[in-house]
A and B are shown apart, each in its own frame.
Chain A
Amino acid sequence: MLKFLARRAVLAVLVMLTVLTISFALTRLSGDVAVSMAGPQATQQDIATIRKNYGLDRPLIVQFGDWVGGVATGNLGRSYLYHAPVAELIRARLPITLTLGLTGLAIALLVAIPLGILAAMHEGAWLDRAIMMVAVVGQAMPSFWLGLVLVIWLGVKLQLLPISGVDTWDGYVLPGVVLAFSAIPALMRLTRGGMVDALASDYVRTARAKGLTRVSVVLKHALRNAAMPVVAVAAVQLGFMLGGSVVIESVFALNGVGYLAWESIAKNDFPVVQAVVLFLATIYVALTLLADMLNAVLDPRLRVS
């Protein structure tokens, strides 16, 4: 088990290094970074200042070395627009994005898993088909459009929920639901598939032969085995929700990390872009590692030393 985790950790580090490089290279795409950062109204003087302050006149290798070194010590650069350390900016906005992501995931799991179980238990019957239709429809819905539609109907016409900002807890409901929508179809299919297999398995037949109640058979015996791929995908979905929150955050005017990223991209604030890409990738890598560990906990067969 330890060896398995150690190997995954090494892999994670390698991936991080690659992402470091990619995030660095990304911002150098547009040629002269200083010019883009300064914007269209800048003077030669501005550009020169920027170049100097951000060390953009040094060779790329040195810049990269600085970047890596900075990351290692927690220094993620300095935002040009906000004149503040990027780390600070991210830290201030992180709670919102995290809450949003977790809310979305929670809603998604609360909807997808029971529906998936129900569909599997009635495999082939109309209930199963109806539930799967929900999955198909959900997958086709553009999330930002859904967000706008919900804003119009639930927020404005019916005045049920707030449509922007998160001053109150229910400000997370609409955006959470929209986020969940994108994850529910996949999670539901996976749960259903896993449960169908589990319910048809020999060990479930044994459980029935032992006279265990239906609840026990489905929830204790079948679900435990069907849950494993769902857990892995759920962790990955959380990663997507955190990384893809850009769209939702802009529709609902939430001041999170995604929105910060979008702002910075639109306004060419390179240091922020670079750092946010790295940050989100780190979270994703951490989540997949977590998912692997959870899998090992759930499936005794993976704990081989």
Chain B
Amino acid sequence: MPEALLDVAGLRVRFGRDVEAVRGVSLAVERGQTHCVVGESGCGKSVSALAVMGLLARGATRTATHMRFDGQDITDLSERALQALRGDRMAMIFQEPMTSLNPAYTVGSQMAEVLSRHRGTPKRLGLERAAELLAKVGITAPGLRLGQYPHQLSGGLRQRVMIAMALMCDPELLIADEPTTALDVTVQAQILRLLQGLQRELGLAILLITHDLGVVARIAHKVSVMYAGEVLESASAADLFASPRHPYTQGLLACVPVPGRIRRGDPLGSIPGTVPRIAPGFTGCGFRDRCAFARPDCAGAIAQRDDGLGHRHLCQLAA
């Protein structure tokens, strides 16, 4: 089996002394495939993405059993080496397109600087490539846009610019942190379609962070469900929706009202309680306080269950 493009095992991120945001996350993103990480706010999914890119704030410590990008270990890579990778072979886009672009520079110059940084390309050629990519992401009049400032573009346009900018150096992996959350519903659909199209055309691997199961259903090949800093279940998208094994995943799916299946008067599903903040030294399952099936042994070491076909979940219950 070919090696995954991004292979993360046992990622842990701690902020200061009191908060353990990520507690042993493992995931793999295959070339040309989309892996979605889904979970509630505060589960550590964005932090995991930032940790992979090495973009955590000062004061955060990250460790991992291993983190490999295209076979190369990136866990202990120097900042300089990471800088060379970022924007070149791994790119990232973020949730807030309105504030993610520098207001003082034109769109074109911000895009061209990626090429000049990584390839030494002169600005004129960089701008040509930028115009090409703007067209590819579906922006009309790309030449005009190059000279415009971010505040002159709408949110949807800015997100497209972010995507185009991320593609400047032909990256192999695109990490997208909730790219559609801040956008209108119709624009969301367009952006997702765009990402799928780019994946097909360029063989782009995508690690997509989201809290929206609808996005997952639409675009994911593989899914990891995160909760309180851990991956509770991971499987192919089809498997996950067809037969969720972890009580949390089952609860999440039950929360989604399906037209046709839900009837007027039926209560909407919900999972009582809120996501806990985990301090270092916490043991056992993070979900046990909200789980309908919790048992005393949920406070101890939890079994990692694997069906051998790529469907894993972290639970004392078999299935």
Binding site for B on A (CB under 8 A): 201-203, 205-214, 216, 221, 224-225, 298-301
Contacts and interface: CB of A to CB of B under 8 A. Distances in A.
B101 interface: yes
B317 to A, nearest CB: 39
Contacts of B113: 210, 212, 216
Interface in B12-55: 53, 55
A202 B85 contact: no
B239 interface: no
Given A209-B53, A211-B117, A203 B87 contact: no
Given A201-B99, A209-B92, A210-B87, A300 B55 contact: no
Query: Sorted from nearest, which 8 A-B pairs have the closest CB atoms?
Result: A211-B87, A211-B86, A210-B87, A202-B99, A203-B102, A300-B149, A209-B92, A202-B100
B91 A212 contact: no
B220 interface: no
A58 B91 CA distance: 79
Interface in B58-114: 79, 82-88, 91-92, 94, 96, 99-105, 113-114
Contact of B83 (A213, A298, A301): A213
Given A210-B86, A212-B117, A205 B94 contact: yes
B211 interface: no
B104 A300 contact: yes
A205 B87 CA distance: 12
A205 B54 CA distance: 11
Select the residue from A201, A210, A224, A225 with max chain B CB neighbours within 10 A: A210
B101 A216 contact: no
Contacts of A210: 86-87, 91, 113-114, 117, 165
B103 A301 contact: yes
Contacts of B100: 202-203, 205-206
B8 interface: no
Interface in B149-173: 149, 151, 162, 165
Nearest to B165: A210
A203 B105 CA distance: 11
Contacts of A298: 104
A224 B87 CA distance: 22
Contacts of A207: 102
A210 B151 CA distance: 20
A57 B121 CA distance: 77
Contacts, number: 71
Contacts of A216: 113, 117
Nearest to B106: A300
Given A211-B83, A224-B104, A300-B103, 9 more contacts: A209-B53, A209-B86, A209-B94, A211-B88, A211-B117, A211-B118, A298-B104, A301-B103, A301-B149
Given A210-B117, A211-B86, A300 B101 contact: no
A202 B159 CA distance: 13
Contacts of A214: 79
Nearest to A204: B102
A299 B103 contact: yes
Given A209-B87, A224-B104, A300-B103, A202 B53 contact: no
A211 B117 CA distance: 8
Contacts of B149: 300-301
B61 to A, nearest CB: 16
B96 A202 contact: yes
Contact of B55 (A201, A205, A299): A205
Interface in B113-171: 113-114, 117-118, 149, 151, 162, 165
Contacts of A208: 55, 86
Interface residues of B, number: 29
Contacts of B99: 201-203
Given A202-B96, A206-B94, A225 B117 contact: no
A225 B103 contact: yes
B147 to A, nearest CB: 11
B102 A225 contact: yes
A211 B119 CA distance: 12
B92 A211 contact: no
B162 to A, nearest CB: 7
Nearest to B149: A300
A203 B84 CA distance: 19
A206 B99 CA distance: 10
25 contacts: A202-B94, A202-B100, A203-B99, A203-B100, A205-B94, A205-B100, A206-B100, A206-B101, A207-B102, A208-B86, A209-B53, A209-B86, A209-B91, A209-B94, A210-B91, A211-B82, A211-B85, A211-B114, A211-B117, A212-B87, A216-B117, A221-B102, A225-B103, A225-B104, A301-B149
Contacts of A301: 103, 149, 151
Contacts of A213: 83, 117
Nearest to A209: B92
B238 to A, nearest CB: 32
B102 A300 contact: no
A266 to B, nearest CB: 49
A293 to B, nearest CB: 16
Contacts of B104: 224-225, 298-300
Contact of B162 (A206, A211, A300): A206
Select the residue from A203, A207, A221 with max chain B CB neighbours within 10 A: A203
